[in-house]
Structure 1
Amino acid sequence: MSSATSTTSLPSGLAVLTTFPDVLFIPEIIFGGLVWILVASSKVQLPMLQGWVMFVSVFCFVMSIALLCLYICGAHGGSSSWVTLDVICQETASLFYLSMAVLEAYSTYISFGPANAAMMTVYQENVAAVVFAFLATLMYVIHKVYSLLRWKSS
């Protein structure tokens, strides 16, 4: 895989799936989809929190798929403004996912806690959602850092 600092523009076509950090779109989509599924199937005591968690997971899932498809189709045409757009999207997703993961973890802890054995299945689903939310956050942060390096070198 080529490094982010060796290329100053975004790849197009299937080269998107072979360059770093663009290959991180795949785990971002997978982990984001898992968060979306787990939160949608679990019981959350605070509806406002569940609304934010669902918004972030759906928004970032759709945004990542849309960017990946646009890059594969070559819609960016080698323009440097797309490098800036990539940085903005990754920064937004990183901040959204970090806030969502922390809120989901806190809500899981105060709503269920490990002492409530009757709700153990729901608790385990929420813990899994928290784990995948933090993994998605990590993927978006790594992607953001390397996108910033690519932006700086362009």
Structure 2
Amino acid sequence: MAAATQQMSSLPSGLRVCSTVPDILYLPELVFGGLVWILVASTHVTTPNPQGWVMFVSVFCFVMTFLWLVIFTCGGHKNSSAWATADFIYHLIAVVFYLSASVILAYMTIIFKYATSAPFDQYYKIYIAAVVFSYVATLLYFIHCILSAVRWKSF
């Protein structure tokens, strides 16, 4: 009986989501992922540009992280073991997606710097900010993935 109670307490619900590790990282992930989404959406996109992947990753991870936050807050995770596994797998996928998107975004920013003239300087600054926030989001998802793996292995 004590083991079942301990398993249920490993995955928080309600407002405890905002105060437990690694679940406290949901909010910064939403903030930085949303900033990447907004900044990339506000830039000038040329035709042969792989920033569609960056937009997909930022929107996908934003929506999925929001859904995870809502599920955990509402207590929709009754089977702790399966939810702990799913939480780890989602954050692993998010890390791989965000890392690939961050590398593409940094590469496109370098190309954009040398391919444009002075009027596009404002877009270059937006690209730089998007790259920084993208790598911060990658780091947050990576930390969350590691902490989720530790929690998953404790079951």
The two structures have a TM-score, normalised by structure 2, of 0.90
Cα deviations by residue, 1:119-141 (Å, 9 ceiling, x for unpaired): 21000000100000000000000
Which residue is 2:147 aligned to? 146
How far the C-alpha of 1:113 sits from its partner, in A, is 3.6
Q: Pairwise CA RMSD of aligned residues?
A: 1.7
- Secondary structure of 2:56's aligned partner: helix
In structure 2, the CA distance between the partners of 1:47 and 1:76, relative to structure 1 (3 Å rule), is: farther
Please give the residue correspondences for 1:3-152 in structure 2 after superposition, counting only pairs within 5 Å. 8=7, 9-45=10-46, 47-113=48-114, 116-152=117-153
Write the distance in 1 (CA, Å) between the matches of 2:18 and 2:50: 34
Write the distance in 2 (CA, Å) between the matches of 1:124 and 1:114: 14
Cα deviations by residue, 1:101-151 (Å, 9 ceiling, x for unpaired): 010000110122498433210000001000000000000000000000001
Write the distance in 1 (CA, Å) between the matches of 2:121 and 2:52: 23
Gaps of 5+ in 2: 1-5
Write the distance in 2 (CA, Å) between the matches of 1:48 and 1:70: 35
- Secondary structure of 2:76's aligned partner: coil
Write the distance in 2 (CA, Å) between the matches of 1:120 and 1:140: 30
Write the distance in 2 (CA, Å) between the matches of 1:149 and 1:11: 15
Write the distance in 2 (CA, Å) between the matches of 1:93 and 1:82: 16
Write the distance in 2 (CA, Å) between the matches of 1:79 and 1:47: 45
The two structures have a TM-score, normalised by structure 1, of 0.90
Gaps of 5+ in 1: 1-6
Percent pairwise identity:
53
- Secondary structure of 1:75's aligned partner: coil
Cα deviations by residue, 1:58-84 (Å, 9 ceiling, x for unpaired): 000000000000000000025210000
Number of corresponding residues: 148
Are the counterparts in 2 of residues 94 and 140 from structure 1 also a CA contact under 8 Å? yes
Please state which structure has a larger fraction of its residues in helix: 2
Are the counterparts in 2 of residues 45 and 111 from structure 1 also a CA contact under 8 Å? no
Residue identity opposite 2:66 in structure 1: I
Q: Which moved more, 1:7-16 or 1:54-63?
A: 7-16
